[in-house]
Structure 1
Amino acid sequence: MGIRDMLQSRRDDAELGRGVWRRAHDRFRRGIDRFHQILEKLPHDQNFELLIPEANALADLLPRVRDIARQAQLLAPSQGTDIPASPHGTYSDLHRSLSRAGNAVALCAEALAMVRCQGDCQLSCSRKVAVSRRLQTVIEHIEDAEAKLAQAHRESTN
């Protein structure tokens, strides 16, 4: 672990804690890393270029997930494995949405691996469409998590 990794880890500990919110964020980040690793192994041809917008869109989602996890840690600090309790189950719902987003990113990477494993693919290839559909699912889960976070903010002020 280099100095840069150590400093990032400390920053993550301070902002995200070491509990459920941190783990949800880290899982999402690992899924994006895996997607990019698979993308790097694809042949660099015109079909490869078609997947770059999806890779960029996934990477652009990471700051949103980090912000959700950071705000959740501020509202309901977590240092262990238990999801903080809330009167209406909002934190459980929020964590579920973040977890689903992480799972959906892993499915994006899996769909991309299928593109790689199944050979040449034309512009309208259904496998590329599958990657795009998976990306849309990730976005929906993040939007749901943002809505749950807003609900948690409203509940905390009441």
Structure 2
Amino acid sequence: MALFSALRQERRDDAELGKGVWRRVHGRFRRGLDRYHQILEGAEDDALYNELATVANELADLLPRVRKACVESQSSFPSTGLDVPGSLIDVHRALSKAGNSLAATAESAAMSRLDAERWGVNSAGLENVRRRAEIVAEDVARAEAVLGL
């Protein structure tokens, strides 16, 4: 059953996101979110887990917004290749930066998890995770502002 669901999602993504830059930037964000959740699953300390889970929920709330921005961009300026439509370069830049920032947030969460396993929960490490997550949200908001969403 999961195979058919995956195929339906693939067709839906093709229709809504195309096969170009908007699909890629959405996929990069989704993979970063998946990576963050994988790191969260390995947290043994309850306090650390709770803090990282709160950030995970905030980041997960951004995925539909990223998808909406990508769908809007694809419908306005369809992309089938690697060329970014000139008038939406700021949107692509903001969404791409959001994906990179999300990867950095996942990396920071992994480092916080390692620190917690060795020396206990470090508030500076958790603050770094929160700060990086805020940057992700700012990048998404920047893309939405350019699109007028």
TM-score range (shorter-chain normalised) is: over 0.9
Where do 1:38-57 residues align within 5 Å? 38-57=39-58
* Structure 1 unmatched runs, 5+: 154-158
Work out the CA distance in 1 between the residues paired with 2:47 and 2:101: 26
* Structure 2 unmatched runs, 5+: none
Hey, what does 1:16 align to over in structure 2?
Answer: 17
Does the 8 A contact of 2:48 with 2:113 survive in 1? no
Does the 8 A contact of 1:22 with 1:69 survive in 2? yes
Query: Do structure 1's residue 102 and structure 2's residue 90 form an aligned pair?
Result: no
1:147 to 139, 145, 148: 145
Does the 8 A contact of 1:47 with 1:121 survive in 2? no
Hey, what does 2:120 align to over in structure 1?
Answer: 121
1:112 to 109, 112, 127: 109
The percentage of counterpart residues that share the same residue type is 48
Work out the CA distance in 1 between the residues paired with 2:54 and 2:114: 20
Hey, what does 2:34 align to over in structure 1?
Answer: 33
Hey, what does 2:89 align to over in structure 1?
Answer: 92
Evaluate the alpha carbon distance shift between residue 121 and residue 149 of structure 1 in structure 2; reply closer, same or farther with a 3 A threshold. Answer: farther
How far does residue 44 in structure 1 lie from its aligned partner after superposition? Answer: 4.7
After superposition, the C-alpha distances for 1:87-130 in whole angstroms (9 at most, x for unaligned) are xxxx11110000000001001100001012223434x6100001
- Give the TM-score taking structure 2 as reference length: 0.93
Q: Which residue identity lines up with residue 44 of structure 2 in the other structure?
A: P
Please tell me the root mean square deviation across aligned C-alpha atoms, in Å.
Answer: 1.5
- Give the TM-score taking structure 1 as reference length: 0.88
Work out the CA distance in 2 between the residues paired with 1:54 and 1:149: 26
Q: Which residue identity lines up with residue 77 of structure 1 in the other structure?
A: P
Hey, what does 2:131 align to over in structure 1?
Answer: 133
